[in-house]
Structure 1
Amino acid sequence: MTADVFRFPVRVYWEDTDAGGIVFYVNYLKFFERARTEWLRARGIGQRALKDQSGGMFVVSATEVRYLRPARLDDELLVTVRVERFGAASLLLAQQVLAGPAAGGPVLCEGSIRIGWVQADTLRPARIPPSVLNVLEHP
């Protein structure tokens, strides 16, 4: 496990909300996805280039999400990514959505996301390339 926490700001738009102006539950998974993509990018890993160069890619294999408080239209949110566990073929990530642009806001949603490495052409599980693991373990 690492204490390194990546933070990514998100603003709530109309498209993120339901008829009541509250963030629709599935959109928290989209916020998580955006933050994971930017987390990889911040470590020099562009997903398209990664696939082209290695022949592999990360896919979500499991999610567990808890919704604690609602977010609303125009809210500024902070989405976090933290690695809980490194494996040979997968990573377990802890993610949160917090209210406000700073990390001090209340937790609105939290999740545990497992991403696995697969060969892009067959979608068969494979070991994460050592070069990728090294970058993720030692940012």
Structure 2
Amino acid sequence: MSSAAEFNWTIRVYYEDTDTGGIVFYANYLKFFERARTEWLRACGVGQQALAQTHGKMFVVMSTAVDYHAPARLDDTLKLTVEVERLGRASVQFFQQAWRISDAEPQLLCTGRIRVGCVDTQTLRPGAIPTEVFARIQLNPA
């Protein structure tokens, strides 16, 4: 369930995350993964707002591939993982997982591969990840 280069972020499932049956709406896993990547980046010492203000760059999602294994439900506690699979000059590919940890035995709920690209905040054109940010990602792959 865990590797040496894995970042973990824990959340609770709230009513707003679920459908009328109390099951997490499938698209909300992308929101959960986004929050975990944001916290991972913050743990690397990079704030998204500072990245935009200092470097004029931001990360945008380029592609996603998500597999659903089991449903999360209202009040579940989830562990979200972040692993860097590939770091390029202008993009990062992540492998992410959502685990239910509120039960005795952790259960894998969802996996995803998310690729983000670095773009200029004004033109939205692709650009290289700033050197300082690239170095922090290399030092803290997850």
Q: Distance in 2 between matches of 1:19 and 1:39?
A: 31
Query: What is the distance in 1 between the residues matched to 2:82 and 2:91?
Result: 15
Identity of aligned residues (%): 55
Output the CA distance in 1 between the equivalents of 2:102 and 2:128: 36
- The alpha carbon displacement at 1:101 in A equals 6.0
- Which position in structure 1 is the counterpart of 2:68? 67
Contact 2:76 / 2:102 at 8 angstroms: preserved in 1? no
Distance change >3 Å, CA 43–CA 106, structure 1 → 2: same
Report deviation, 1:82.
0.3
**Equivalences for residues 50-61 of structure 1 within 5 A:** 50-61=51-62
CA-based RMSD of the aligned residues comes to 1.5
Counterpart contact for 2:40–2:82, Cα < 8 Å: yes
CA contact (8 A) 2:86 2:94 kept: yes
Is the 2:92–2:116 contact (alpha carbons within 8 Å) kept by the matching residues of 1?
A: yes
The offset of 1:72, in angstroms, is: 0.3
Q: Which segments of 5 or more consecutive residues in structure 1 lack a partner in the other structure?
A: none
| 1:97 partner letter | A
Q: Report Cα offsets for 1:48-86 as digits up to 9, x if no partner.
A: 011100010110000000000000000000001000001
Aligned residue pairs: how many?
137
Contact 1:62–1:115 (CA<8 Å) still a contact in 2? yes
- Deviating above 3 A after TM superposition, structure 1's stretches of 4 or more consecutive aligned residues are none
Counterpart check, 1:34 vs 2:43: no
Cα deviation for residue 130 of structure 1 reads 1.5
Task: Find out whether 1:112 has 2:128 as its counterpart.
Answer: no
Matches within 5 A, 1:10-49: 10-49=11-50
